[in-house]
Structure 1
């Protein structure tokens, strides 16, 4: 039987980067493009910064970046391998890093969807509202809840993926299911490794948010939506590239949001 782990990849940041390679810093470049097109100032908070790759890219683009994460392992890796930003411990379910300190808050790779309840979503948006200057931006990228309305191609059937790191082959078997009552996309993943270590089971979930629901939530916290679309973005196919403008639909499996704070505290 597999043993339980909080999260094999986030507990092992080097392994995480080996699994989710981004040598061209596509996510960071997409984010910088959003910030530049909408005239964001230099001070950026990367909330859920993970290993620090995107925060470091924004720092290299000339921004004053703070990376925040709940994982001390991720923060230690970021400080050692992606220096430049300031890295701090904070919880996206509610944080206080100062009032009016940032020109933009960035929250990538579905990190926002770890706010599973309405109370946690409200706490995140209230924290962003406090942290931003008037006119500051919120830039997020996540799974699109609307994709799962009537679609089952990603659900219920296990998918297998594998990659090699430091001579060991890591194989994951992943099953996604929809919990309609909780409005969650639940993921069960079992890891095996060729080094003979015991299998590891990981369970996690994302809140399924819908485009109109997001607009309503944001308006309630003083944000005006500037962009809300399904691509192109850093995880779409084909992926975003310089010069590509956002689309007008919100139907595919990724959702991209840029909103401006119009009613600060």
Structure 2
């Protein structure tokens, strides 16, 4: 899994130090990659895959090992360098997901996991991503995405009421984060302030980032405008749900919990 605060927010402890990212989010069972591959198989996607927002490359490498021809794309040079050395197989390249260019019809599927799509904060940025996907996909190509669900925050405040504290250790150093979330309703953003401390004497680090809050019907509308037909849009099970997705699990009928899972097919090129 992968975060991309670097895209708009400058330095980020985990993005700038991919080994710490993988220590914090180990995903030893490769749930995200397995879930994506299951979606690709279920809808008979071709072999050429773009992993957009690939982060450390774990999911791209899993898809590569499953027999696909994979390009991993990210904006973080640190993540890409790490991916090339630790998760070889895919071709890794630096792109901005809010607008990118590959040769037309280069891919049979675009995979966009762990809320990477939500770093498109404005309608123009979201249009840029989807227009780029449309150009890069072959006719009938798939878009597979996993992200936070804006609908979860309609009337629910449990993620906003108090800071969340978590931690992990690596090479004898213990890191602790205190995370505060707030909703910017006018901008339709979920804003995050995170303060990291470590017991190695280094000073605290404060980081700020945000995700676009997209609602299921809004997502259907913008995808249709870009020529996509939504095949699946549901809140679980998925790689970050509780309980998590398992092989053979089928999508549920609802779309109101805190994660949203999307499979859409490109039916119209423009």
Normalising TM by the smaller chain, what interval? over 0.9
Aligned partner of residue 255 in structure 2, secondary structure: coil
Residues 108-147 of structure 1 deviation map (CA, whole Å, 9 limit, x = unaligned) = 0000000000000000000000000000000000000000
Give the drift of 1:98: 1.2
Q: Which residue of 2 aligns with 1:172?
A: 177
Q: Which residue of 2 aligns with 1:196?
A: 201
Quick one: distance in 2 between partners of 1:87 and 1:185? 29
Residue of structure 1 aligned with 2:128, choices 103, 123, 136: 123
Q: Which residue of 2 aligns with 1:12?
A: 17
Quick one: distance in 1 between partners of 2:257 and 2:181? 17
More moved, 97-106 vs 155-164? 155-164
Quick one: distance in 2 between partners of 1:123 and 1:225? 19
Q: Which residue of 1 aligns with 2:6?
A: none
Is the Cα–Cα contact under 8 Å of residues 113 and 208 in structure 1 kept in the other structure? yes
Superposed counterparts of 1:1-265, under 5 Å: 6-265=11-270
Give the drift of 1:199: 0.2
Quick one: distance in 1 between partners of 2:248 and 2:111? 21
Aligned partner of residue 144 in structure 2, secondary structure: strand
- Displaced runs of 4 or more, over 6 A: none
Quick one: distance in 2 between partners of 1:5 and 1:260? 34
Residues 152-180 of structure 1 deviation map (CA, whole Å, 9 limit, x = unaligned) = 00004111101111110000000000000
Give the drift of 1:97: 1.2
TM-score by length of 2: 0.96
Which ranges of structure 1 fall in alignment gaps of 5 or more residues? none
Quick one: distance in 2 between partners of 1:106 and 1:5? 25
Which ranges of structure 2 fall in alignment gaps of 5 or more residues? 1-8
- Aligned CA RMSD, in angstroms, stands at 0.8
Quick one: distance in 1 between partners of 2:222 and 2:56? 29
Is the Cα–Cα contact under 8 Å of residues 5 and 201 in structure 1 kept in the other structure? no
